[in-house]
Amino acid sequence: MWSDNETERDFLNFSGTAKTVAEMILQASGRPVSIGVSGQWGVGKSSMIKLVQLELNQVETDESTDKQFIFVEFNAWLYQGFDDARAALLEVIASTLADEAKKRKKGIDKVSDFLKRVRWLRVANAVAETTGALALGIPPGIFSSVTSVIEKLKDGEIAKDEFDDTKASIVSLKNQLTSFISPKEENSPPKEIQALRDSFESALEELEITLVVFVDDLDRCLPKTTISTLEAIRLFLFLKNTAFVIAADDKMIKHAVKTHFEGLEEELVTNYFDKLIQIPIRVPALGTQEVKAYLFMLFIENSDLGDPVKEKIRSKVCEQLTQTWQGKRVDKLFMTNLQTDLNVKFSSELVARIDTADRLAKIMTTSNSIKGNPRLIKRFLNALSIRMAISKSQGVDVDEAVLIKLLLFERCGSTKAYDDLRVKITDSDNGKPVFLKAWEDQAENGKVPSLDELWESKDGFTLDWLSLPPRLSDTDLRGALYVSREYAPMIYSDDKLTPEAQELLSALTDNPDMALTKTVSDMKKNVSLAEMNIIMDKVLQKARLEEEWGTPKILESCIFLSRADLSLAERFKAFLDGLPPASIKAGLIPKIADESWASSLLIKWKSERGYSSPVKKAISIKNK
């Protein structure tokens, strides 16, 4: 299994982009900077900002530079529903500076002043009760408490024996009010906000640091939380010695802005975002080479190789990725050669997984359902691990390569096509999707298969999937479906039958002689046409196992069903007409000659080549 958390270990050569971001912060030399790291969900934004922090930490350990950074990591999503994101960000920044001031033993007074102003602003915004309270500089929470006590006294709601306790409460509130009200100062939110910014800037200067704030998972938040966090960031933007690195999908942020400020024009939405983000950077999209490298490293990470060896391999892979533009490749051959270069030996299991990764990379890059998304790739591999564990624990013999191919279709193929595949597997007697054979043959020979409309895909997924080893048409897939039941249950067509229909199906497939004691009218009375079609499916599946068509027992069941409805008769007729001519024996002719649907079929057989003389003679006799 693979963890879905961000990491400082670079498997995708993101370090180059992370160094660029770190360099921008360094080059700012204390000037304010805001950088947006954008990309869709799961592409590695969180890992990217971890790598940026790592790069800046490495700069600090370099004796040739005196740059000093303090980092604040803020995840707005964690506060959603529990705290106001704007207030929470202010508190986290203030607390971080307070801890740093204590550690450095300087700037304590300035940081304390900043912390006090943050808490005043937090209290002032916690309950927006009256503009009068704010104008007086009285936090609304305290204002409410005083009002409540006075009203209770006036209305006589407080008993005399409770008066002493109430008096003590009033004294306590008076002391709190005294700490906030200053007759020499006029406090108001605009003045407090400016004072807050001045205090913050002064504290950073005293501490001689640059504060780097990493804001993550903003695109996971509801619009209200997103805007609240952005408004808090706006308080500190463009102040000296600050850098903000905001990781979020810019499309999601713009959606939040548009939702929050209802009716805002698209141009204004873009302007709002652009004013917050000075430097937009996108996480690099992954191509086939990067996806291969990522898969290789995930399998290496879970192998029994030692950590030093894993790190050497990771370094070599990332180095190779920087040269793919020159035609160099990260593929199975490259990984094989690494064994010699690093004097290591991969286990047979790891070699097999590297081979699998090499084959999977292209389809995982081009499929619209994965598109090389690292998080989706991890989830795919974790689902595979779970299913393999289920197969082992329950004694279900499933080949991993087969399970990978089936899981790939489940996740990336058409839902309707997957359901079609699943039904055909469960309805067959041996669990083999033989209908895939012709398509697999065509795909292997470089031809475009003549797919059913249900199986066609605009992104070419089905063709890539059919070409991917192993072939499935001659493989029993029932075990693979069994361990995949968390996605879809195994539903057999028999399960849709009424008890009467199931009884008829059992009789027709297991004991035709007993079934024929029933009359067609009895069958039509108790079994619907839809159920008869399901029964015909099963009977014909069993009939396909017969190599010679003279008078097999299943023939009687087919004839019996064909008499129930013309559509069933046409299905049986088409089945017989599709059999190889050499399998038709003379004994079949008398059995079907009197059926109304058979006359045209017999005429056809008599005139065509391939049918034996005894068969043609039997047809001539019946036609006299």
Bridge partners (DSSP) listed for residue 74 = 215
100-123 burial: b if 16+ Cβ within 10 Å, else e: bbeebeebeebbbbbbebbebbbb
Q: What pLDDT sits at residue 505?
A: 85
- Please say if the pLDDT value at position 475 is more than 80: yes
Mean pLDDT of 173-178: 50
Q: What pLDDT sits at residue 182?
A: 45
**pLDDT band (50, 70, 90) for residue 123:** low
Alpha-carbon distance of 286 to 372, in angstroms, equals: 6
Q: Are 142 and 169 within 8 A, CB to CB?
A: no
* Average pLDDT across the chain, whole number: 81
Mean pLDDT of 465-494: 78
Q: Are 41 and 375 within 8 A, CB to CB?
A: yes
Mean pLDDT of 12-33: 85
Q: Indicate the range of 209-218, 268-277, 446-455, 587-596 predicted with least confidence.
A: 268-277
Q: What is the pLDDT of residues 393-452, one digit of tens each?
A: 888 888 888 999 999 998 888 888 888 888 888 888 788 999 999 999 998 888 888 888
- Please say if the pLDDT value at position 577 is more than 80: yes
Q: Indicate the range of 176-185, 251-260, 417-426, 456-465 predicted with least confidence.
A: 176-185
C-alpha to C-alpha distances, 535 to 428, 547, 554, 577, nearest whole angstrom: 12, 21, 13, 20
Mean pLDDT of 153-176: 50
Please work out, in degrees rounded to the nearest 5, the angle formed at the alpha carbon of residue 29 by the alpha carbons of 27 and 33: 75
Mean pLDDT of 299-307: 91
**pLDDT band (50, 70, 90) for residue 496:** low
Which secondary-structure segment (H or E) carries 211?
strand 210-216
Please work out, in degrees rounded to the nearest 5, the angle formed at the alpha carbon of residue 52 by the alpha carbons of 281 and 35: 35
Highest mean pLDDT among 47-56, 309-318, 366-375: 309-318
Alpha-carbon distance of 315 to 317, in angstroms, equals: 6
Q: Are 344 and 303 within 8 A, CB to CB?
A: no
Mean pLDDT of 59-75: 70
* Higher pLDDT among residues 360 and 143, named by residue: 360
pTM for the model stands at 0.63
**pLDDT band (50, 70, 90) for residue 138:** very low
Alpha-carbon distance of 71 to 210, in angstroms, equals: 9
Highest mean pLDDT among 149-163, 189-203, 250-264, 334-348: 334-348
Please work out, in degrees rounded to the nearest 5, the angle formed at the alpha carbon of residue 500 by the alpha carbons of 495 and 506: 70
Q: What pLDDT sits at residue 181?
A: 44
Bridge partners (DSSP) listed for residue 69 = 210
Q: What pLDDT sits at residue 124?
A: 59
Q: Are 541 and 428 within 8 A, CB to CB?
A: yes
Q: What is the pLDDT of residues 248-297, one digit of tens each?
A: 888 888 888 888 887 777 777 777 777 888 888 888 888 899 999 999 99
Alpha-carbon distance of 157 to 146, in angstroms, equals: 15
**pLDDT band (50, 70, 90) for residue 163:** very low
**pLDDT band (50, 70, 90) for residue 161:** low
Mean pLDDT of 115-143: 53
- Please say if the pLDDT value at position 10 is more than 80: no
* Higher pLDDT among residues 6 and 581, named by residue: 581
* 69-75 vs 242-247, strand pairing mode: unpaired
